Amino acid sequence: MTLKQKAFSGVKWNTVVTIVATVVQIAKISVVARYIDRADFGLLAIVNMVLGFTAMFTDLGITTAMLHKQDISVEQYSTLYWFNWLLNIFLFLIICGISPFIAQFYNDPRLTHLIILMGLSIIISPVGKIYYTIKQKNLQFNFISKISIINSLLGLTIAVTFVLFGFGIYSLIITSIGSALFSAIVFSISGRNENKILFHFNLQEVKGFFNIGIYDMAQQILDYFAYKIDVLLLGKFFGMDDLGIYNLAKELILKPMKMINPIITKVGIPIFAKIQNDISALKQNYIKILEILSVINFGILSFIFVFAKPIVILLYSAKYVEVSVFVQILSLWGMFATVGNPAGVLMVARGRTDLGFKWSIIRVVVAPISIFIASFFSIVAVAYSQVILQFLFFFIYWRMMIYPLSDISLREYAGSLKIAIISSLVAIIPSLVLNSFYAGGEIMNLILGGAIFGIFYIGIAFIINKKIVHLFQSFIFKKQ
């Protein structure tokens, strides 16, 4: 199979996974939200923040280095496998030690055992992680996608079953552990048939992996902290109830970026790495990525902005209607956040993860300051501060990251959003009119609104650029 065919296959399968995962995730939260209160979502936000931060250390950037390096020996794979095991066990022990202090900081003793229980997934993941990365590196997206779909459906089954039996917030934690266990077992069994791991350990053989991966890991840590600093501070300043409301809104807005962007980036990282020395090809195809992702993400987030209230009521029930205010505000933040997200394909391809590290230092310094100041006014002010900050970051990010890596000018960078911005502005107007005057139920409101919004959005996008429909298919390279 040629590189072009593998690219199309990867995009196709990642698209299927995205659709299934999105539907399953929405269904899971929709069911669970009716059985737990918003304070539980606040607790879950803290637990996920702690475990997500810990996950940044679970491979020290080795995954990125494995995708970048084209020739890796069996001995090197083996050393990386056992190193990952030892590292994750060590991290789990640290989690067990610090969880009581985290619970004390937020004045909620439940956090101690919730964090430790969720932490079990950390010592499970190394079983199949190396094998997963090898399959991703070899563009085996068919297999990866099928397992991801099965895992999503399994997670939904576990979550619904346990919440119906009264396990509350634990149903989501058990789901995470179950999903991690399933993935680890499947990738380990399938991977051992193709790539045998030896009982071999020599760190000298893999020093180069750490040199490449260390900047990526450091960048991920700082980047994650910048994204989660609001959760860290709001949980302390406003309590679990308000944090639960805010985080539900933020997670809803992040879904397009988490679910849609990987369709391109998971395929793009290994493929871009193969043409890393062709700046012209990198530039041309990265602009295509931005155009594709902006049209999709801006369309979804604009629709969410207009119909935030019926969406929240339908997904979480009427008791969570306050979430809609934050959904509308953070949808604006999400539009600019999704634009910067795919730059990882350029950094990995060019081996310049150090630039991402420098950029993350700026974010991790500036973001907490804006949140801290805004928190003196209200939690709503914090949401608005994120929108303003992300808009300013758009321009700074181009100068520090995009231009040095790809020679893309500011005009080209901003121009890649033209179709998405104009289409969104035009489609929002008739949708707002419908949302203001139509008094039907939430479902009919969303159906009619979705139809009207979709017709205007797609229609305007097609008028502006008739090739937009085929743009996704053009995500290939002139040099195969």
Domain edges within the chain: 3-474
Q: What is the pLDDT of residue 125?
A: 84
CA distances 221 to 209, 228, 278, Å, are: 18, 10, 30
What is d(CA 138, CA 450) in angstroms, rounded to the nearest whole number?
A: 39
Q: What is the pLDDT of residue 80?
A: 80
Q: What is the pLDDT of residue 477?
A: 43
Q: What is the pLDDT of residue 281?
A: 72
User: Are the C-beta atoms of 331 and 297 separated by less than 8 Å?
Assistant: no
User: Are the C-beta atoms of 261 and 293 separated by less than 8 Å?
Assistant: yes
Q: What is the pLDDT of residue 343?
A: 72
Amino acid 249 reads: A
Which residues, at least 6 apart from 92, have a Cβ–Cβ distance to it below 8 Å? 119, 120, 122, 123
Which residues, at least 6 apart from 165, have a Cβ–Cβ distance to it below 8 Å? none
Q: What is the pLDDT of residue 479?
A: 41
Q: What is the pLDDT of residue 272?
A: 67
Q: How buried is residue 436: exposed, middle or buried, by Cβ count under 10 Å (0-12/13-18/19+)?
A: exposed
Amino acid 347 reads: M
Q: What is the DSSP letter of 197?
A: P
What is d(CA 364, CA 337) in angstroms, rounded to the nearest whole number?
A: 15
Give the H or E element holding residue 66.
helix 62-68
Q: What is the DSSP letter of 377?
A: T
Give the H or E element holding residue 364.
helix 353-374
Which residue is associated with the tokens 């743009």? 471
Name the token pair of 437: 């005057």
Angle at the Cα of 157 from the Cα atoms of 32 and 11, rounded to 5 degrees = 100
3-class SS of residue 1: coil
Name the token pair of 230: 């609001």
What is d(CA 15, CA 366) in angstroms, rounded to the nearest whole number?
A: 35
Q: What is the pLDDT of residue 266?
A: 63
What is d(CA 33, CA 44) in angstroms, rounded to the nearest whole number?
A: 12
pTM of the model: 0.76
What is d(CA 324, CA 8) in angstroms, rounded to the nearest whole number?
A: 37
Question: What does 268-281 look like in DSSP terms, one character per residue?
Answer: HHHHHHHTTT-HHH
Per-residue pLDDT of the chain (480 residues; tens, 9 = 90+): 555 566 566 667 767 877 888 888 888 888 988 888 888 989 999 998 898 888 878 776 677 667 666 677 777 777 888 888 888 899 999 999 999 999 999 988 999 999 999 999 888 887 877 778 777 776 677 788 888 899 999 999 999 999 999 888 899 999 999 999 998 888 888 877 767 777 777 777 777 666 665 666 776 777 788 778 888 888 888 888 889 899 899 988 988 777 777 766 666 666 666 665 666 777 777 888 888 888 888 989 998 998 888 889 888 888 888 899 999 999 999 988 888 777 777 777 677 767 777 888 888 888 889 988 998 899 999 999 999 999 999 898 888 888 887 778 888 888 888 888 888 888 888 887 777 776 666 777 788 887 888 888 877 777 776 666 565 555 444 444
Question: What does 222-248 look like in DSSP terms, one character per residue?
Answer: HHHHHHHHHHHHHHHHTHHHHHHHHHH
Single out the residue of 395, 473, 459, 474 nearest to residue 427, CA to CA: 459
Task: Label residue 36 left, alpha or beta by phi (over 0 means left) and psi (-120 to 50 means alpha).
Answer: beta
The CB density around residue 106, as the number of other CB atoms within 10 Å, is 18
Name the token pair of 461: 């996008």
Single out the residue of 141, 154, 140, 162 nearest to residue 183, CA to CA: 154
3-class SS of residue 104: helix
The CB density around residue 318, as the number of other CB atoms within 10 Å, is 10
User: Are the C-beta atoms of 182 and 154 separated by less than 8 Å?
Assistant: yes
